[in-house]
Amino acid sequence: MELTININGQPVTRDVEPRKLLVHYIRETPGLTGTHWGCDTSNCGACVVLMDGKPIKSCTTLAAMCEGHEISTVESLEFDGTLDPIQQGFHELHALHCGFCTPGMLMTTRSLLNENPDPSEHEIRTAISGSICRCTGYKNIVAAVRWAAEHEATMTSGSSSISQEA
């Protein structure tokens, strides 16, 4: 079946089997391998992308379900050479080690800040409860999200495409 999905504001058209998963549709698009494929069972959260601004697990979403929707991947966070505040927060607070969980964590927490610009630690931990990090112990991830919340208003990179959708 021929399928067109808007990914990061660009239509991507491909002839795929109906069983094609969104994570593979995305990763097979040139330049979009930032979305990671981990457990394949909807447990780890490495594959999280945004559909119409809401986080979804692309390893258990059929690509065919996404036609007519806007999909945002981790590549959309950086805007015009400037990191999104959530990316900057992860950098400032050393919130990643191996980085495998990071794309999903970034997209999950970007969505959180779009809906709740001043989340508590409890709200951050609840938001990322569907994502597993095997390295950091979560403390620095939570701190990074708080850093982004506190700096977002003053950072020009708050104008990334996803922030604008919020």
Give the DSSP letter of residue 68: T
- With CB atoms as reference, the residue minimizing the distance to ligand FES is 59
Q: Contact region for ligand FES (CB under 6 A) — 5-13, 74-82, 127-135, 144-152?
A: 127-135
C-alpha radius of gyration, the chain, whole number: 15
Tokens 């379900």 appear where? 65
Instruction: Quote the least distance from Cβ 148 to ligand FES, whole Å.
Output: 17
- Single residue of 6, 20, 24, 40 touching ligand FES by CB under 6 A: 40
Q: For the chain, give the number of residues.
A: 166
Pick the closer one to ligand FES by CB: 91 or 134.
134
Coil, helix or strand for 124? helix
Instruction: Quote the least distance from Cβ 8 to ligand FES, whole Å.
Output: 19
Mark out the alpha helices in the chain (DSSP H runs).
22-27, 85-92, 102-115, 121-127, 139-151, 161-165
By the rule CB under 6 A, 33 interacts with ligand FES: no
Residue pair 52/13 in contact by the 8 Å Cβ criterion: no
Kindly list the residues in this chain that would bind ligand FES in the complex (CB under 6 A).
37-40, 42-47, 57, 59, 96-102, 133-136
